[in-house]
Structure formats: C-alpha cells, structure tokens
Amino acid sequence: MINFHPELAHIQAFAEGTCPVNLALIISAHVDMCPRCQALTMQAQEDISVKELSRTIQTPGVDVNKDLNDMMLQIMQGTDFEPIDVQPVNCPLELDGRQFALPRALARYTQKTGNWSRLVGKLWQAPVDLGQDGQANFIYMEKGGRVPEHTHKGSEFTLVIDGQFSDGLADYDCGDFTIMDSSNKHMPFSEADEGCLVFTMVDKPLHFTSGLARLLNPFSQLFFK
C-alpha cells in the first residue's frame, strides 16, 4: 500500500508544468502507480484550466471564442510536433533473468538504461541516461542488501518500483515516493524475499556517515549519483 506521496505543492507544480524536469519524471512515474495522486493531478489541471479561462473571459476586449478558434487552428496547422515515441506499453527491466514491470513514465527509458553492475552489500545499479537532464539510477537491493548509512549534500528522490525496503526512518512499499535532503540520515535495506527495486536520482553525491563506509565518500559520485 502506498503511504508516501509527493507533497501537494509538487503535484500542483507538476500539473502546471513548472517543476524541474527530473522531479517531473519521477512524480509522473509515481502518478502512474498511485490513483490518489492521479486524481489530485487531474483536479489540479482542471483548476488551472478554469482559472486560465476565467482570466481570459475577464480581460476587456478579448473574444474568448475567437481566441479558442485561433488556438485550435494553430494546433491543427502546427508542424513542429515531437514525434510520438512508439514503444510497447510495457518494456520490462531485466536483471538476472527476472523481469520488472515499469510504470509508463519510466518504460520509455528501458532502452536508455545501461548494464547492471554489482556494488557492495548485495546491491545492483543500472544508470539511466536522461540526456541533457542528467542521470538517474535503478538500484536493486537483494534480500539482506543495504546501502551504508548516509546523509545527502543535495536532494535524493526515490520511487519504489517493486518489493519493499526500510531505512531506519520508515518502511516503504511499492509506489512509495520520498525526498531526502541534508536533514535526513538513513540506511536503506531490504529484508523482503523478492528484494527491492527503486528508481532514484540525486543532484549531489551522497555522504556516507558511518564506519568503513566513510572510505567510500571520495567515490560516492561514481556510485550513487
């Protein structure tokens, strides 16, 4: 069951198209998985349209019908549309012969996902090339896998795609979305039989805080960026 959702301000920014591209991608993937946030997004979009329309109607000298007609004409005559990316509805992600179904927003990145590499502590990582918007990662924790305790120099966005994990702060299930920053210190681990697959993005490297893992800090931008 999904317990962790994007905050309402982020859903509204997502609906308006004003939130940063990276955040929009992960929120879009969460919305694909979460009926509650789907309804909120639709409501926010409806509110925006109504506000836009009423503002237009109240502008002196504006003929709404003519403007709408002009807009429709422009759309119909437009030539610079992005081609639609034709992909099968669900391109599963594969690891060791296992297939993971991805939310629609992420399925189109299957082809842009690099090979899996095995990290320390029963962790697997596959980088996702977001083009000019940087990089994200799929991280898979096997049962018993753990990311060493760390804090964040920037923001860390995480969406659970499959399975469950905990981090000492809470337990997370499929579809849960979290944002962590420098005020959060945590140690993600999975005890689920099927392990846990997450999609994650950080804008600055992680900072490992405990024991031997601190030795990883000079390399953390290679692993968890």
The reply on whether position 5 binds Zn ion by CB under 5 A is: yes
**In sequence order, what are the residues at sequence separation of 6 or more whose Cβ sits closer than 8 angstroms to the Cβ of residue 15?**
41, 44, 45, 48
| CB of 36 or CB of 55, closer to Zn ion | 36
Pick between residue 113 and residue 158 the one whose CB is nearest to Zn ion.
158
4 vs 82: CA distance, rounded Å: 33
User: Which CB sits closer to Zn ion, 19 or 213?
Assistant: 19
Rg from Cα positions in the chain? 21
Q: Does 40 bind Zn ion (CB under 5 A)?
A: no
Instruction: Name the residue nearer to Zn ion (CB basis): 14 or 165.
Output: 14
Interface stretch with Zn ion, choices 28-36, 60-68, 99-107, 108-116 (CB under 5 A): 28-36
Nearer to Zn ion, 28 or 209 (CB): 28
Is 29 one of the binding residues for Zn ion (CB under 5 A)? no
Q: Which of 104, 143, 124, 89 is nearest to 198 (CA)?
A: 124
In the region spanning residues 167 to 186, those forming contacts with Zn ion, defined by CB under 5 A, are none
Binding Zn ion (rule: CB under 5 A), the pick from 13, 26, 34, 197 is 34
Site for Zn ion in 130-149 (CB under 5 A): none
Residues in contact with Zn ion, total (CB under 5 A)?
A: 4
Is residue 37 within the footprint of Zn ion (CB under 5 A)? yes
Q: Name the segment binding Zn ion (CB under 5 A); options: 3-11, 128-136, 144-152, 160-168.
A: 3-11
- The CA-CA-CA angle for residues 166, 90, 129, to 5°, reads 70
> Nearer Cβ to Zn ion, position 36 or 108?
36
Q: CB 44 → Zn ion: shortest distance, Å?
A: 13
Residue 159 binds to Zn ion (criterion: CB under 5 A): no
Interface residue list for Zn ion (CB under 5 A): 5, 34, 36-37
